[in-house]
Amino acid sequence: MAGDVARQRSTQEAGFRRWSTWWQVLRVVLLVLWICWAASSWWSAPRQASTARARADLSAGRMVSYQWAAGWDTDADWSWAEDRELWLTGRSGPLFVWRTGDWRVHYTEFDRDFTGPASPGSFDAAQYSGAEAAAFDQLLQSAELDRRWQGVDSPPPLGNLAALLMLGFLTVLVLGPAPARGTRWFWFWVLTGVPFGLGLIWWLARERPWHPAEPPPPNAVGRDSRDRWYAGLLIGIATSIAASLLLYGLRQVLGEWYVPHDAGS
């Protein structure tokens, strides 16, 4: 009898170690995916340039795709897994966004400081924002470039990394062991609210099944003492505000090339 109990316990411990190893492998995979996503997002984030840079990239053959827009859509919903949106009106200009062969994305505005000839009837005002945009669009048409936005902010297949990370997080959160330090809803709001996927890093560092934490005992009144959903929501709001202020300050000091404008910042 004692031997059967010992064998059963040994089998359970072996199974636990095997599952623990798989959890740690998945933990490393998620971390590597996040690093790849963060690096590709920084590399391909839209950066402001001059109209002269747009002309130079076009003439040198570096421009591979482009999109005209009226501006950036500041009213679009955003999370760290989504990209900056363009405000499209069907008219070309004044905002012009283009991608080069190295997956860098740039944008500029035409007709802002344009002082060239613009006689009445020289361009279709219903189609173009101004004479400069109309003239440049004629050059684009002759170059026969790929006229679409088409996810130029992230090179494939890296553009799908955010979706893979979100799917992996939700799968483990719903089907995996119950969290020890916070409820499932707490971690859901932390991941979706904390900017740039940093909530995922926090989750990988301090929560089950990645961390050998045990659920805290109930408090004196028998209530679950784990962090609740409203704490995760408040953390997401607070960190979003703090990140926006921090990025604004860093952008003023380091410039847009190092701290580019991106969605939500």
Same domain, 125 and 175: no
Sheet with 47-48, edge to edge strand ranges: 47-48, 105-109, 95-100, 63-69, 146-147
Helical residues (DSSP H) of 45-114, grouped into ranges: 51-60
Is 117 part of any domain? Answer: yes
Domain region containing 104: 46-147
Same domain, 54 and 115: yes
Please give the model's pTM, rounded to 2 decimal places.
0.75
Cα–Cα distance for residue pair 185/164, rounded to 1 Å: 20
What is the pLDDT tens value at each position of the chain, 265 positions in all? 455 545 555 544 444 455 578 888 888 888 998 998 888 888 888 899 999 999 999 999 999 889 898 888 765 444 555 566 788 887 888 999 999 988 889 999 998 765 555 544 566 777 888 888 988 988 888 887 766 655 555 566 666 788 888 888 888 888 888 888 889 999 999 988 998 889 989 888 888 777 666 666 666 666 777 888 899 999 999 999 999 899 889 989 998 888 887 643 4
Same domain, 73 and 166: no
Tell me, what's the pLDDT at 26? 85
Cβ atoms of 99 and 65 within 8 Å: the answer is: yes
Tell me, what's the pLDDT at 113? 64
Same domain, 163 and 231: yes
Domain boundary among 147, 182, 206: 147
At 256, the amino acid letter reads E
Tell me, what's the pLDDT at 108? 94
Cβ atoms of 44 and 104 within 8 Å: the answer is: yes
Same domain, 121 and 179: no
Same domain, 54 and 126: yes
Same domain, 123 and 32: no
Give the three-state DSSP class for 218. Answer: coil
Is 261 part of any domain? Answer: no
Same domain, 202 and 141: no
Helical residues (DSSP H) of the chain, grouped into ranges: 2-44, 51-60, 131-143, 161-175, 184-193, 198-206, 229-254
Is 259 part of any domain? Answer: no
Same domain, 94 and 222: no
Same domain, 188 and 241: yes
Same domain, 205 and 222: yes
Is 152 part of any domain? Answer: no
Query: Taking Cα atoms as reference points, which of 255, 181, 183, 247 lies closest to residue 211?
Result: 181
What are the tokens at 63?
Answer: 């421009």
Tell me, what's the pLDDT at 245? 92
Task: Please give the tally of structural domains in the chain.
Answer: 2
Is 264 part of any domain? Answer: no
Domain boundary among 93, 122, 147: 147
Cα–Cα distance for residue pair 180/212, rounded to 1 Å: 9
Tokens 């009445």 sit on residue:
120
Query: Taking Cα atoms as reference points, which of 50, 46, 126, 44 lies closest to residue 92?
Result: 126
3-class SS shares of the chain: helix, strand, coil, % to 5: 50, 10, 40
Same domain, 119 and 162: no
Domain boundary among 89, 117, 147: 147
Cα–Cα distance for residue pair 186/202, rounded to 1 Å: 12
Tell me, what's the pLDDT at 176? 84
Q: Is the dihedral of CA 196, 237, 261, 155 positive or negative?
A: positive
Is 265 part of any domain? Answer: no
CA dist 158 → 27, 35, 113 (Å): 19, 11, 37
